[in-house]
Structure 1
Amino acid sequence: MELMDTSLDKFYRKVLDKNMMIPEDILGKIAVSIVRALEHLHSKLSVIHRDVKPSNVLINKEGHVKMCDFGISGYLVDSVAKTLDAGCKPYMAPERINPELNQKGYNVKSDVWSLGITMIEMAILRFPYGSWGTPFQQLKQVVEEPSPQLPADRFSPEFVDFTAQCLRKNPAERMSYLELMIHHIRMVMLQSFQPIPKESNANTLQHVASMPVSGIPPQPLNEIGQVSWF
């Protein structure tokens, strides 16, 4: 088993203590690494993680990103999971907090929601919701009020949209893992002023799906702005 240096929640608190921010390109690499890990669980093992949050994502000095804590992960039956109370409630998707009467379960789109909350937390260095005194307050805020959004004046339109796609209230409207990977690729290309390939999304999705889980080149995280974090 590989030894990692720290978890994302501890990492961003160090960044906050130094009165700095995590660069957006680092956030993007972390996000797509999580997406690829979740996609591997889903497509290769028919498993849903159910507890995606900063403390369950590990990183090391070389920039490798690993998911951990599979204790409440579950197997999908016909792409659906049914145990509603598994996981950390603050990161739960609306359909898990307040399921519809005829809802038979939930799918991996609930992990996509948790990813969106996680990435906003990493970007703004705090949990995006206020504190909840009761489960009813959580129900009202997560289910009824608008989803959290990144401030458009501090982040690129592409990264703002990435998190917004994760946090659509209707799970059917959230992007799939492969669509999120395509979104990230286009975001990187736009930010580096490279032309976006004209091949169809289907061809691009097939290419991304064929890449190994460990295929993302890591970027060292031990120094950001010449400040040591580890």
Structure 2
Amino acid sequence: MIELLQKYGPLLWENTYITLLMVAAATLFAYVFGLPMGVLLKVTDRGGIMENRAFNSAFGWIVNILRSLPFVILMVALIPLTRLIVGKAIGPAAACVPLIIAAAPFVARLVESSLSEIDNGVIEAAKCMGATNWQIITRVMIPEAVPSLIRGLSITTITLIGYSAMAGAVGGGGLGDVALRYGYHRYQADVMMITIVLLVIIVCIIQIVFDHLASRVDKRNR
């Protein structure tokens, strides 16, 4: 094991860093696009502060269609767009494009679910005090949903770690690429196992950190 780590340690460290970088960037931009999408789904739904059933139905279908596409197929289908945006179709930067597009509708549904947990009485109270729709969204709905949003963030991040491993199958880099090149093509089961252990450790750390953060900001725990 020591000899194995000495031989492949730098490779594993470098690709662990690449995986974390890809996941962090994809998660950030997935929420940049997914959070407004989730808010729109909630506020335009039946009983929402900006109820619009026709828009909600159409937009919901678009979100559901994007969510239903298998990631590997989506990744291949987006190669022309990826090449247009990044300038190439392989590498960590290129892998971020399909990661973001795959995660954004997933985030939208998580955000919608988190906002649905808010007590309607809080929103009605804000309306009675003359708050605008924008104020209700930014000062009432999102702050009240923060604990649930943080838990959703952990789910998204962990999901993207799995997606990033699949991205390695088409030259995306990261631990998935190491597992494929060394564990599969070269039949080095020990390298494969190390990459699996590293991914499990990363997932566990993320889950623990976000669970702790969610508990800290949850008013019910005070």
TM norm. shorter chain > 0.5: no
TM-score by length of 1: 0.27
Structure in which a larger fraction of residues adopt helix: 2
Structure in which a larger fraction of residues adopt strand: 1
Structure showing greater Rg: 2
